[in-house]
């Protein structure tokens, strides 16, 4: 599992829409004690204690192409997940599709 911070001293940056079908099993981020960890559950856990959340790209900001019908993975934006889970951490959406980060 990703390290959990109790203090609000980090930014959480999310790229990509969040699959929610079948409890998020369509996007896994690792294992802990032989249990698969999903992006959905890690987002929920880390979002609660982040200073701010940055949804980077159109998919994380608004759902993007993965959210288009028929949407078998039931993809959602970060904003939708936060609303469903009653998480009030401030969210900054930075939409754009195909983001190119250049460094300096």
Q: For the domain that residue 75 is a member of, what is the CATH number?
A: 3.40.50.700
Give the domain extent around 31.
11-94
Average pLDDT, the chain: 91
In a domain, 37, yes or no: yes
Q: How far apart are CA 75 and CA 59, in angstroms?
A: 9
Does 68 fall in a domain? yes
Q: What is the pLDDT of residue 6?
A: 63
For 40, what's the count of Cα atoms within 13 Å in the CB-facing half-sphere? 19
The verdict on residue 50 lying in a domain is: yes
Strand spans (E) along the chain: 11-15, 18-19, 28-32, 35-38, 52-56, 75-76, 91-94
Asked if the peptide bond before residue 70 counts as cis, ω within 30 degrees of 0, the response is yes
Query: Is 5 among the domain residues?
Result: no
For residue 2, tell me if it sits in a domain.
Answer: no
**Looking at the domain assignment, is residue 74 inside a domain?**
yes
Could you tell me if residue 104 is inside a domain? no
pLDDT greater at residue 81 or residue 99: 81
What's this model's pTM, rounded to 2 decimal places? 0.86
- Per the structure, the count of domains in the chain is 1
- How confident is the model at residue 9, as a pLDDT? 86
Spatial separation of the C-alpha atoms in residues 38 and 69, rounded to whole Å: 22
């Amino acid at each position: 599992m990703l390290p959990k911070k109790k203090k609000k001293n980090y930014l959480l940056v999310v790229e990509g829409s969040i699959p929610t079908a079948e409890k998020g099993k369509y996007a896994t981020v690792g294992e802990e004690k032989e249990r698969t960890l999903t992006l959905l559950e890690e987002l929920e856990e880390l979002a609660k204690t982040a200073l701010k959340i940055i949804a980077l790209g159109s998919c994380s900001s608004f759902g993007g192409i993965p959210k288009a019908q028929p949407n078998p993975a039931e993809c959602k934006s970060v904003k939708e997940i936060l609303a469903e889970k009653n998480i009030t951490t401030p969210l900054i959406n930075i939409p754009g599709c195909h983001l190119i980060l250049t460094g300096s």
